[in-house]
Amino acid sequence: MSTSKEAPTGLNFHRMNYVLMLLGIAMLIGGFIALSGGGTDNPNEFSEDLFSSQRLTVAPLLILAGFTVFGFGIMKRFKN
């Protein structure tokens, strides 16, 4: 008596997994874009834009949220 289980066929991810992963990637790209910039063309001039709340708070939180959504998109199981 052998009880062999056949491997399930089809994709491992549901459509919603791909949507969540794409949303996470979009959030990551948006966070890195928000983090960039703030410099000046003249090296002898200091720019206060480096210390804006966008670069110190919003962009890192957006990046962390992007990684969280992407990880959730990988781990979540949806019913067929």
pLDDT at 4 over 70: no
State what percent of residues in the chain have pLDDT above 70.
88
Residue 17 tokens read as: 């997994």
Query: In this predicted structure, what is the pLDDT of residue 6?
Result: 65
Q: Is the pLDDT of residue 41 over 70?
A: yes
**Positive or negative CA dihedral for 20, 23, 29, 31?**
negative
Q: What is the pLDDT of residue 9?
A: 63
- Residues contacting 48, CB < 8 A, separation 6+: none
pLDDT, one tens digit per residue, over 60-75 is 999 999 999 999 999 9
Q: What is the CB neighbour count within 10 angstroms for residue 69?
A: 19
Return the closest-CA partner of residue 72 out of 11, 8, 23, 12: 23
Q: Which residue has the higher pLDDT, 76 or 39?
A: 76
**φ and ψ at 5, to 5 degrees?**
-95, 130
